[in-house]
Copies of this chain bind each other. A is one copy, B any other.
Amino acid sequence: MKTETTEILKQYNENLQNYERLAEDVEYELIKSIKKHHIKTHAISHRIKDPNSLLDKVRRKKLKKPFEQIHDIVGFRIVCLFLPDLQEINKIIHEVFEVFEEDDKINNSELNIFGYMSLHLKCRIIAKKLNENTEQNIPFEIQIRTIAQDAWAAISHYLDYKKESVIPEQLKRDFHALSGLFYVADTHFSIIRQEQSNIYFEKNEKSTTNQFT
């Protein structure tokens, strides 16, 4: 066991610089391509998994080849404003990166189930774009969520609502209900944006029409 740990840490440290370069490159690419599509985001950030949580995961999941089996050593989070942005950003990411796994914890669950909502993509840099000396085909994970989904996730993570021992059933139900409440807020904001944009176009059409009368 000890040798294994040492070996993992050794490899992690050897890769660290590559992780950091990858993080910077991908974040730059994300910001640029999302901006190009005129989508306003609330936050784009990254983190490199610290060695302790890497080792934890290896032990917990009894992984034999951690650097092939763990895909979120380099992780990104994109917090957007509106529900429909999620799919737009998803599409952009499919264009700029190779997505080898997709987990949609928003639309893939049953219609009546509410809880953690986020869109997770496991990606790699597209081969021909690879910067020779660096990224060595390292996988990375991108999480996309709205700001309301992020609020729920952050608070739930803090309260650790999953711990069986600590929270009574009734409070757990409250948690999930609050996810429903945030979902209502999210769809409501989208509707307002839609209506606002309809009004704007109507006005513009009218004024365009008026120009020629």
Contacts and interface: CB of A to CB of B under 8 A. Distances in A.
Contacts of A180: 114, 176-181, 183-184
Interface string A180-204: 1111110111011101100110000
Contact of A40 (B150, B158, B167, B172): B158
A154 interface: yes
Contacts of A148: 148, 151
Number of copies of chain A assembled together = 4
A71 to B, nearest CB: 25
A111 interface: yes
Contact of A111 (B110, B111, B172, B195): B172
A38 interface: no
A159 interface: yes
Contact of A187 (B40, B112, B174): B174
Given A159-B196, A168-B199, A170-B187, 11 more contacts: A81-B155, A112-B173, A114-B177, A147-B150, A166-B196, A171-B195, A174-B183, A174-B188, A177-B183, A178-B185, A182-B185
Interface of A: 40, 42-43, 81-82, 110-115, 147-148, 150-151, 154-155, 158-159, 166-185, 187-189, 191-193, 195-196, 199-200
